[in-house]
Amino acid sequence: MTITAAADGSALGNPGPSGWAWYIDDDRWAAGGSPHGTNNQGELQAVLELLRATAGVDEKLVIECDSRYVIDSVTKWMPGWKRRGWRKADGAPVLNRDLLEGIDEAMRGRDVEFSWVKGHAGHPLNEAADERANAAAKAYQQKREPRRGPGFVPLTDTGATLTEAMALSASVPSRAAQDAALLWAQPADLLDGLDELDGLAASAPLELTISLTAAEHARLRDRADAQGVSLEEALRRLI
């Protein structure tokens, strides 16, 4: 089985408020962005988020992009950049290295193929991704939370869609519940149960392990980028 998805980015002003989105179908898509970025960064971020969301699946992944910069960067130029220590042939540093390194790592051991499609030419998946990426960029421009989407949930063994799988499993939140969910957890939720650790000295550091979905990780990274801090520091500020 092959998973075909579109990845697209948007930047209002380029640079300016930016958005990214990947889209498989109405039950499997995600979007996000940042207050300031470029179109290329949005395009690369969309690919990276798609790879992260589908990590662990065995199916071949075909990524449709309308950006030749993204496709050429990953499939043609990256090997040479890596050999030269992430520098271009003229010695200049490669732009967006952090995103490209993330994509390179996320592709290891996977069957991934890139397919170029012309943007704004009626390709259904590309149009859907473009619409969501642009909406995310506009949301950041208006200083409001963008629609994040349901993320990625594999089809069931019977081929059921995500909507059908949700109806069968009470443990999976509904689309309405996801859309209505708060962007950030309440501080009390993060501290729940810590008052039971009376045996620890007040000054002793506590190590917490938190499992995040791809969408939650993207929201935390957006918050960190907006504040100009690390992911760890952004999480600390929620406590």
Q: Which of 27, 49, 64, 66 is catalytic?
A: 66
Secondary structure (3-state) at 38: coil
Cα pseudo-dihedral 181, 182, 186, 190, rounded to 10: 60
CA distance 88 to 192: 50
Q: Which of 8, 49, 64, 222 is catalytic?
A: 8
Cα–Cα nearest to 130, from 86, 83, 64: 64
Q: Which helix (H) or strand (E) holds 234?
A: helix 231-236
Pairing label, strands 2-11, 60-65: parallel
Q: Which of 27, 42, 43, 102 is catalytic?
A: 43
User: Residue 155 is which amino acid?
Assistant: L
Q: Which of 27, 130, 151, 222 is catalytic?
A: 130
The answer to whether residue 8 is catalytic is: yes
The answer to whether residue 222 is catalytic is: no
The answer to whether residue 120 is catalytic is: yes
The answer to whether residue 113 is catalytic is: no
Q: Which of 56, 58, 91, 120 is catalytic?
A: 120
Enzyme catalytic residues = 8-9, 43, 66, 120, 130
